[in-house]
Amino acid sequence: MSTLQNDLYLRALLREPTERTPIWMMRQAGRYLPEYREVRKHAGDFMALCKNPELACEVTLQPLRRFPLDAAILFSDILTIPDAMGLGLYFEAGEGPKFERPVRDLASIQKLGVPDPEQELGYVMDAVRTIRRELHGKVPLIGFSGSPWTLATYMVEGGSTKNFSVVKKLMFADPQAMHLLLDKLADSVATYLNAQIAAGAQAVMIFDTWGGVLSPRDYREFSLNYMQKIVSRLTREADGRRVPVTLFTKGGGAWLADMAATGADALGVDWTTDLGVARQRVQDKVALQGNMDPSVLYAPPARIEDEVATILASYGQGHGHVFNLGHGIHPEVDPDHAGAFIEAVHKLSPAYHR
């Protein structure tokens, strides 16, 4: 493997000194880029794009050709694991992901197997290997997965949901079935992420998109508990370097101290929590990633720069901050505004690392 030319992101996650704050964007490879839309059209549909390692590599690299980002993130989807479990994933225009065969009782959960990452999910590993090769050591590659709770919400609901009634009914009415499902998913995610690391991912991230819909007690029992299991099983060294792991619970600002105790290296923070407050809550035990509201990118560049200045000031002096959006970039954002965002971080952050 070639040596890494830019390791700012990895150093920041381990709270090592950096000369400026590194930056990447959630969903940086995606629909806001015209070149992505071209490739997507050529692929036919979203999962066809995910399952073609060459095309997945191409769209992963597209934002790096445009912008001086400090990391690449594997182009894939969080629902690859439930898809590999045979639930019949498909996408309906304007409605997001759906499953033909949702799991809603103990019997259907008992039948689920843990997918073999090099077999049923081999296309993801091929994409990781291809991207890692094509990056030529320019920046590190981030692998990722959905959290067990987040994957379970889609698998039980059968798709996206606004009120989580079906999955919460299972959780409250049959906690034994819910825990069995989450246990199988924790096994699957740990195996999947370790396979990504073996294939070349240099850092990994767990997206707990729906952890924020739980009460504090239920969050600890049904989400955090399983992310902690995964963290304890992850390969933490590869190519002679530490492989950092980041946990991100959207809407999870109140639980940052609990999350910091999992053994993760870094936590993602959304825009509803002030970064300075987040830093106090975790007492610099972990690095923090975030946390600009993606909608700020609709604003003129001067307003974007102003927001970057505010967030840098709220984190304050010192290392251990990876600049990012508080969630994925919106499809309608002008790519030039994303460029202005990245430029502002490059311009304003060195002052916080002296």
Residue with tokens 């609901």: 157
- In 3-state terms, what secondary structure has residue 60? helix
Is residue 209 annotated as involved in ligand binding? Answer: yes
Yes or no: say if 253 and 275 are a contact pair by the CB < 8 Å rule: no
| Bridge partners, residue 23, by sequence | 323
The kind and range of the H/E element at 348 are helix 335-348
- Looking at residue 222, the DSSP 8-state letter turns out to be I
**How distant is the alpha carbon of residue 237 from its chain centre?**
20
Catalytic residues: 27, 31, 40, 77, 154
Is residue 27 annotated as involved in ligand binding? Answer: yes
Longest dimension (CA), the chain: 59
Q: Prior bond to 324 cis, omega within 30?
A: no
CA atoms of 250 and 177, how far apart (whole Å) = 25
Alpha helices, DSSP H, located in 174-300: 175-199, 216-219, 225-233, 256-260, 275-282
Is residue 154 annotated as involved in ligand binding? Answer: yes
Residues in the chain: 354
Beta strands in 8-86 (DSSP E): 72-73
Yes or no: say if 223 and 147 are a contact pair by the CB < 8 Å rule: yes
Is residue 241 annotated as involved in ligand binding? Answer: no
Phi, psi (rounded to 5 degrees) for 119: -105, -85
Quick one: which of 141, 124, 145 has its CA closest to 53?
A: 124
Quick one: which of 85, 78, 79, 83 has its CA closest to 110?
A: 85
Yes or no: say if 250 and 267 are a contact pair by the CB < 8 Å rule: no
Residue numbering of the annotated binding site = 27-31, 77, 154, 209, 327
Residue numbering of the annotated binding site for substrate = 27-31, 77, 154, 209, 327
